Amino acid sequence: MPIEGELIVRLDRDGRHLRRVTVRVTRPTAAARVLTGRSAVNAAATVPLLYSLCGHAQGAAAASALAAAGARDVRGHPACHDDAVLLESVQDTFRHLLIDGPDAMGGAPCAAPVAAVRAAIAPYLRATCGSTAVGDAGAKHALALHVSGIAAEAIFGMPVAQWRALNGAEALLTWCAGGRTVVASALAGIFADEPMLGRSAVPPMPPARPDALLEIVVPAMRGDAAFERAPTWAGTPVETGALPRMRDDHLVADVQRRFGNAVGTRMVARLAELAAQIEELSGTATGPVSPSRIQAIALGDGEGLAAVETARGLLLHRARVRAERVVDYQIVAPTEWNFHPEGALPRGLEGLELDDDVHLSRAARLAVHALDPCVGSRIEVGHA
């Protein structure tokens, strides 16, 4: 029973000039209606079924939020470990780069490596829900080596560590020009033809630390009826996902200085994060390892919050429980952050000048892809 919906992007142009971009996500905010009155353990089992993507992250968020709200029955409920959220993010990024990316650019998908990664990861995802990690250290390392080999061939065109050693934007552009993979070729075309496409001044989401969540986000979730559909950080739309998380990475920071928060920069951030995640899995990370991707915060009086970092960005669940039953529930998905009506997509596209509807629609598809919605998207073009 997934919650269906789509992202509708309306582009109104006047001649060559794009005058207005309207963004609307039609997915219903049905969590409270669906879950209210259910037992906490039943709600924890139901939430992952509401979403066709990021099921492990949704399950982790649900169990964590309900447990933080004091639901005793959920404490023994199988919940996905941090490793499962990491592995789900890895496989989602493979799909993003090799299937959704070529599709957005009108090319053929590169499905075989995505299928190979999913097949390799699937047993570990099944095993990690309810356990403490991805098997023993040896099994985890073997999985990392296998995934790293697929990534080296299909995405990076070289060993992951070698790609991680690229020392700045110029080195990255040289890698793109080599065209060793479909991803490198796609980025080469973007940087050559549309380097500033989707560039936006919408700020990156600050780190979702507990103090910031408590002081800024929780009051808004409680008090703003529109927050689930149009979330903001201290009243301002923000961008979530790989680009904010990788802002301190040397390569990403150098590309960002050169091109801003644009489509190409977002793709580079996804690449850099994937490489860092593979190194984390293998135990060869040279930089700091990411903190836990799952945060659970008890808010008191039967209320709990979970914050989970998914491939697409920050996922929030807020639950209120009385006598082991749900009395209120909120879910704020990354799509609602990144496709805010005043957010990165409209701000990055407004003012764009293109000769025809075909090129305009293609540019919009690329910008949507880079922000990675978890629902299908539709582009509409109108004329003033």
Task: Quote the CA–CA distance of 143 and 175 in Å, as a whole number.
Answer: 26
- What are the CA-CA distances from residue 189 to residues 83, 96, 184 (Å)? 35, 17, 9
Residue 35 Cα to chain centre, angstroms: 24
The predicted pLDDT at position 153 comes to 98
pLDDT at position 145 = 94
CA 107 from chain centre, in angstroms, equals: 23
Q: What is the pTM of this model?
A: 0.93
- Residues 106-145 have pLDDT tens digits of 899 999 999 999 999 998 887 765 454 555 677 888 999 9
Q: Which of 182, 118, 178, 174 is nearest to 153 (CA)?
A: 182
User: Looking at residue 384, what is its pLDDT?
Assistant: 67
pLDDT digits (tens, 9 = 90+) for 287-323: 555 567 999 999 999 999 999 999 999 999 999 999 9
State the pLDDT at residue 76: 55
**Helix then strand then coil, % of the chain, to nearest 5:** 50, 15, 35
Domain segments of the chain as ranges: 1-76+208-238+293-384, 80-204+241-290
CB 353 within 8 A of CB 13: no
Residue-wise pLDDT tens digits, 83-110: 889 999 999 999 999 999 999 998 999 9
